[in-house]
Amino acid sequence: MSCHSNVGPRMQTRIQKQDRPGNCKAMADRLDDNPTGQNDQRIVALRHGTEGMTLATHWRDYIQLLRPAQWVKNVVVLAAPAAGLKLITWEGFGHAAAAFVALCLAAAGGYAINDAIDRRADALHPTKRFRPVARGSIGATTAIGIGLFFLSAALTLSTLACGAAVAAVVGTYFALTMAYSLVLKRWILVDVIAISIGFVLRAWAGALAVGVAASAWLVACVFTLCLFLGFGKRRCELAMMGGPNDAGRHRRTLVHYTPDLLNHLITVSAGIAVMTFLLYTMDPARTLSPFPKEQLFFTLPIVVYGIFRFAMVTELGLYSGPTEIVLKDKPMLIAILFWAAAALAIAYQTRIVGPEGWSGWLHTLRRTYLTT
């Protein structure tokens, strides 16, 4: 049997073209007898069925290293600008877009360095082992250099387009991602809290970019929702790896994140996230909200459906994490789009139907049709 039998059909067909007679594990053992920096990644690839991928670096490997699909997480940057009604001006939209791009560059740099740090652990994961550094098509030193380049680009763009304050937040976000990659991800609960703080920093950068106050409600809503998503990600990883023992070889904290514990944490964090959203909508103070945020209460059914749908999908082990669920699970994507459309319609109602908003528009309709 070929040592590539544990990969999918498409990848197996590609790799078989590179196969030669002999035993791949024996070849890896021979390389182990004479270890060098060059052979190090090749040994990992041979043992995990990806030797054919290490022979040439393709431009697609560099794109994969930067993980553009993960950049969708940075859409939280637009939360404060949208709530502050800043996206309707070219200046506000431009600053928000610049902050978004800067954080995408910083995230790309962080992903590249993280892949270099985690290359050995990723080689043991059923899907992460196909990442360029884990399979040996891009060297660890090269990945770190690319990461530092993208960090420099992120800091330069944020400083020139948005100011030093946004650049400081971007730099803090990058420092947090490095602390997570090196230390924080090894501590149970702290790992998910660190991820949630990263999203709060993204939202804060968006607020600073357009000059609106980052309210306590913005921080609370983003933090609690991301706690729920973070524990859901751990549940996805545990389901994909088959159990705590196998999962622990990839991520140490997964040994302690038992299914029962994660189900409890997901349930608690989901309840906290929904209650935080409700308290925000029912808070009578509108000093920081230029639109009637109490009307967001009517989007509660969509919020609840989205929370429950995500919790259900994480149990199935079909996806590797929240990003993949959002992009590939159609009911979840539809719920998010419906909520975003409803929230924007509420926030920008005076621009859509006039100065009196939706309540005035409905009152006009009633008066028109009931009196005729």
The one-letter code for the residue type at 346 is I
pLDDT band for position 225 (50/70/90)? very high
Pick 253 or 114 by higher pLDDT: 114
pLDDT given for residue 5 in this prediction: 40
pLDDT given for residue 289 in this prediction: 74
Q: Do 90 and 210 form a contact (C-beta atoms < 8 A)?
A: no
Other CB atoms within 10 A of residue 146 CB: 21
- Global pTM value: 0.79
pLDDT given for residue 242 in this prediction: 62
- Residues 2-21: pLDDT tens digits? 444 443 333 343 334 433 33
- The number of angstroms, rounded, from the C-alpha of 259 to the middle of its chain's C-alpha atoms is 22
255 has pLDDT over 80: no
Can you point out the beta strands (E) in the chain? none
pLDDT band for position 123 (50/70/90)? confident
Pick 371 or 222 by higher pLDDT: 222
- Listed ranges 31-40, 63-72, 276-285, 286-295; the one with the highest mean pLDDT: 63-72
**Sequence-ordered list of residues with C-beta below 8 angstroms from that of 80, at least 6 positions apart, any chain:** 203, 204, 206, 207, 210, 212, 214, 218
CA dist 82 → 96, 154, 222, 270, 299 (Å): 9, 22, 14, 24, 17
Pick 314 or 127 by higher pLDDT: 314
pLDDT band for position 254 (50/70/90)? confident
C-alpha span between 361 and 123 (Å, rounded): 59
pLDDT band for position 23 (50/70/90)? very low
The upper half-sphere exposure of residue 203, i.e. CA atoms within 13 Å in the direction of its Cβ, equals: 25
Q: Do 302 and 339 form a contact (C-beta atoms < 8 A)?
A: yes
Where is average pLDDT lowest: 42-46, 145-149, 214-218, 255-259? Answer: 42-46
pLDDT given for residue 127 in this prediction: 76
C-alpha span between 106 and 172 (Å, rounded): 10
31 has pLDDT over 60: no
The token duo for 18 is: 């590179």
- Residues 132-182: pLDDT tens digits? 888 888 899 999 999 999 999 999 999 999 999 999 999 999 999 999 999
Place of tokens 């949630």: 196
Comma-separated ranges of CATH 1.10.357.140 domains in the chain: 60-214
pLDDT given for residue 316 in this prediction: 80
Pick 323 or 237 by higher pLDDT: 323
Enumerate long-range contacts of 179-188, CB under 8 Å, 24 or more apart: 181/110, 181/113, 181/114, 181/117, 181/118, 182/117, 185/251, 185/253, 186/252, 186/253, 187/253, 188/253, 188/256, 188/257
Share in percent of the chain as helix, strand, coil (round to 5) = 80, 0, 20
- Residues 188-204: pLDDT tens digits? 999 999 999 999 999 99
Helix (H, G, I), strand (E, B) or coil at 194: helix
CA dist 9 → 5, 134, 282 (Å): 9, 20, 53
1 has pLDDT over 90: no
Where is average pLDDT lowest: 127-136, 270-279, 362-371? Answer: 362-371
**Is 1.10.357.140 the CATH number for 60-214?**
yes
- Residues 88-101: pLDDT tens digits? 889 999 999 999 99
pLDDT given for residue 290 in this prediction: 80
C-alpha span between 288 and 337 (Å, rounded): 25
Average pLDDT over residues 234-245: 72
39 has pLDDT over 70: no
Percent of the chain at pLDDT above 90?
48
| Exposed / middle / buried, residue 90 (Cβ in 10 Å: 0-12, 13-18, 19+) | exposed
CA dist 286 → 84, 189, 208 (Å): 12, 34, 20
pLDDT band for position 48 (50/70/90)? very low
Pick 12 or 75 by higher pLDDT: 75
Torsion of CA 204, 205, 209, 210, to 10 degrees: -30
- Residues 299-348: pLDDT tens digits? 999 999 999 999 999 888 778 788 889 889 999 999 999 999 999 999 89
Pick 280 or 5 by higher pLDDT: 280
pLDDT given for residue 203 in this prediction: 95
Average per-residue pLDDT in the chain? 81
Average pLDDT over residues 289-299: 87
